[in-house]
Structure 1
Amino acid sequence: MYIWFLIGRIMLGFYYLYSGVHGFTMLSALSEMAAAKGTPAPGFLVFVAHVLLIVAGVCILTGYKPVAGVIALVLFLLPVTFIMHAFWAEKPAAQMNQMIHFTKNLALLGSALMFLAIPRPWPYSIENYRMRKRVEARRTREALPA
């Protein structure tokens, strides 16, 4: 059962990691799009948005500090969803495309929040590995003669 969680984590983690890294190759174009939507300091905020995606991707992929990854996703997805994909404010020709992005982002937000319900440390995660090493070290110390 844990293997499916790991596979899903890898897929989702790489999705966010790729999106964050790829966004850095398009900062200028994405900043222009954000400016057109009325975003203040679009260059800076687009940069921060892609840093958040990279942080989230690494956290989910490795299982290290997953709550920080979820927070990064919430900080990214909420404003992007409601500002950049406000389908109700678009012309009819663009409404469907923006609605697809809007609902996709809501689904991604929901999946991010579900990670909070999974007990930690996650299986096959850095946190799990570190916890096992600490337990092992403690047992070794306890086994040593006084």
Structure 2
Amino acid sequence: MSDLCVGPDRAVTLHFSLKLEDGSEVDSTFDKAPATLTMGDGSLPEGFESLLHGLAIGAREQFSVAPEAAFGERNPANVQRMPRTRFGSDIELSEGVMLSFADQGGAELPGVVTWLSETVVEVDFNHPLAGHRLLFEVEIIDVQPAA
């Protein structure tokens, strides 16, 4: 074991749980293998990462994370209406279906169908957790210098 605390350029092994304010669980490692990440590598949003700084092995903490420190506020401009003809006839469209699009740089951009008619499809490109206050629980298992 290490006596290092969580900080920049540290490899951190941890258990975490992420819940919505109503208590519904989004993700958790407490019932499976812990996660390992390198601080500053982009694995966690900065707002979550900053909460871990200074924690030592064995620490178990709970945090309430505001939308702006998590996945951002919902942006109405990220909801787009497109002609249904833009979608191939082989694509089964219904509300709640997640589709993959390419942005201008060619990167994958997921979107969720939120409404459709015979001529129009509305797709929400906001992160599914955008606009939500989240409950973040973490238990630090190990901290090592990053490789």
Q: Same fold (TM over 0.5)?
A: no
- Give the TM-score of the pair, scaled to structure 2: 0.28
Select the structure that is richer in helix.
Answer: 1
